[in-house]
Amino acid sequence: MTTMFWKLPHQVDIKHPDIVEIAKRLRQGEIIAFPTETVYGLGANALDAKAVAKIFVAKGRPSDNPLIVHIATMEQLALLVEEIDENSRKLIEHFWPGPLTIIFKKKEMVSELVTAGLNTVAVRMPNHPIALTIIEAANLPIAAPSANRSGKPSPTTAEHVFNDLNGKIDGIVDGGPTGVGVESTVIDLTGDVPMVLRPGGVTIEELQEVLGEVKLDPAIVGQKEQPRSPGMKYRHYAPTGEMWIVKGDDREIIKKINSLIKEKSLIGKKVGILTTNDHRESFQEADLILAYGTKDNLYPLAEHLYEALRIFDLNGIDYILAEAVEEKGIGLAIMNRLKKAAGEKFIQI
């Protein structure tokens, strides 16, 4: 398969020739990667089961892992869901367009491939002008998981998509790097209490400010039942090298990491460190140190997290040590992704 490539400015008109072409291809059942504010998504017509099936083949994604449907208008939402209740309206008013996915009861017309056979559908309105323009031009709801091979770090640039999926998908839209860097938060409003199934770009604290009581699903990590949201069941975001999360007192973490750097280097391992700028100068003997943000501002770490995991791979890093961060605010999403990437492997100091 030849993969088409379009490079677009951040702000683009619905009548732009490339947008017209991309929308036409989506209506014809092709699958095309495009930027959102979180990560690059791999899009297909959510109402076309054959098109949706191509996503699973291209990604190597298990079919019991539901997809998120992306929309550009409230009319498209009404096509997909049975009811938009008061809590949904509050969240839509505060966070759409933006990195929040809401789980609704679905209408019959939504393909079971999209929902993994569930009676619910996950929907969001992305806050990215290219994504919104493509969806509006196609005049379709677009099912779009992250545009990477399943299990690998999610793509935050078109180059990442190209490296993973060139020759496996119909097209890639290059709109530059994404902003948030981790996927959307997923919240389920179909139960008695709003439940966050996946932490992401909207924090649980922000959701609680709008809705009051919001719970974090204890099954986010290690759950074995059928997943109700992307990112709940399978290992994700994994670099090639062995990865561990180091957790504990700052001084002890630094001592332990430096000890492991020496130990692994002696047996010929290339060691990489993922940390914040607070500790950038503390691990001089590592082969590669990647530091983003600070303990007080973790948003740059979230933005560059997947890029960092890919950089470790590009540099042949065999052994990766990631410093744990506090699991509040955006730190909850960061730790969720690190745990998945490391396969839940911790070094507790």
Q: Alpha-carbon distance 2 to 260, whole Å? A: 45
144 in a labelled binding site: yes
Is 111 annotated among the ligand-binding residues?
Answer: no
Asked if 130 contacts 14 with a C-beta cutoff of 8 angstroms, the reply is no
**133 belongs to an annotated ligand binding site:** no
Instruction: Confirm whether residue 237 is marked as ligand binding.
Output: yes
282 is an annotated ligand-binding site residue: no
Question: What span, in angstroms and rounded, lies between the C-alpha atoms of 62 and 59?
Answer: 9
Query: Annotated binding residue at 61?
Result: yes
Interatomic CA distance for residues 204 and 223, integer angstroms: 20
Neighbours of 259 (CB within 10 A): 10
Q: Is the peptide bond before 155 cis (omega within 30 degrees of 0)?
A: no
320: three-class secondary structure by DSSP: strand
Angle between helices 158-165 and 299-314 (to 10 degrees): 40
* Residue 124 labeled ligand binder: yes
Does the annotation list 65 as a binding residue?
yes
DSSP codes, 268-306: T--EEEEE-GGGGGG-TTSSEEEE-SBTTB-HHHHHHHH
Q: Which residues contact 35 (CB under 8 A, 6 or more apart)?
A: 41, 128, 130, 131, 158, 173, 174, 175, 176, 178
* Half-sphere exposure of residue 142: CA atoms within 13 angstroms, side-chain side: 36
276 labeled part of a ligand binding site: no
Measured between alpha carbons, how far is 282 from 291 in angstroms, rounded to an integer? 11
To the question of whether residue 275 is assigned a binding role by annotation, the answer is no
Contact status, residue 51 vs residue 29, Cβ threshold 8 Å: yes
Residue numbering of the annotated binding site:
38, 61, 65, 70, 120, 124, 144, 146, 154, 184, 198, 237
Question: Binding-site residues for L-threonine, please?
Answer: 38, 70, 124, 184
* Residues placed in the known binding site for ATP: 61, 65, 120, 144, 146, 154, 198, 237
